[in-house]
Amino acid sequence: MKSRSSIFSVVFVFSTILSGCKSTNKTINKMDDQNNKTTSVALVKDTTPKVTGVGGIFFFSDNPKEANEWYSKNLGLTTTEWGSSFESRDINNPDEIKTLQWTPFKNGSDYFAPSKKEFMINYTVQNIEALVEKLNENGVTVLDTIATYDYGKFVHIMDPEGNKIELWEPVNEIKAAE
């Protein structure tokens, strides 16, 4: 009789453990379902025509070469004839590397024209074609047509303050080496 009672106790304990595991599995399954829902929502790409970041800061300089050298020597910027590039990562997509270009331009350069300002900001955008369409509909001065290069698409606009703005849609964001 003792052995039958011992077997019953073992079976009871084992079934209690299993029933606990089932409920844990349900909790895990619910969590997996929630994660899958979150993941599937996160995979939907936002194509809203809009600015997604700052792609460049450009300003006039009496001597761009000397400006590059000064910023390199005194502030530690790694510079080339095109200025300096800063890399950052998207917090929501850490494998994606974004670049911000910092460049001094020779005073009087027509690259900022028709703006009379001493600087120009480059904004990264998504869906540049739809954005330009929206800007045209809103009466924004679009200075040129979309130009396509190996590294992205560009167009220039003017804001109400007379600032020329460069809009850049990168071809493909640079991916980190795996």
User: Which parts of the chain register pLDDT below 50?
Assistant: 1-28, 40, 173-178
- What is the helix (H) or strand (E) element at residue 122, kind and residue range? strand 119-126
The residue type at 82: W
Q: Please, are residues 31 and 98 in contact by the beta-carbon 8 Å criterion?
A: no
Quick one: pLDDT at residue 92? 83
In Å, how far are 40, 42, 133, 150 from 45, measured between CA atoms? 10, 8, 20, 23
Q: pTM value?
A: 0.70
Quick one: pLDDT at residue 22? 43
Question: How many angstroms separate the CA atoms of 128 and 5, rounded?
Answer: 76
Quick one: pLDDT at residue 28? 43
- DSSP per residue, 78-113: --BTTBEEEEEEETTEEEEEEEEEEEEEETT-GGGT
Quick one: pLDDT at residue 8? 36
Structure confidence by residue, pLDDT tens digits, 59-88: 999 999 999 999 999 999 999 999 999 999
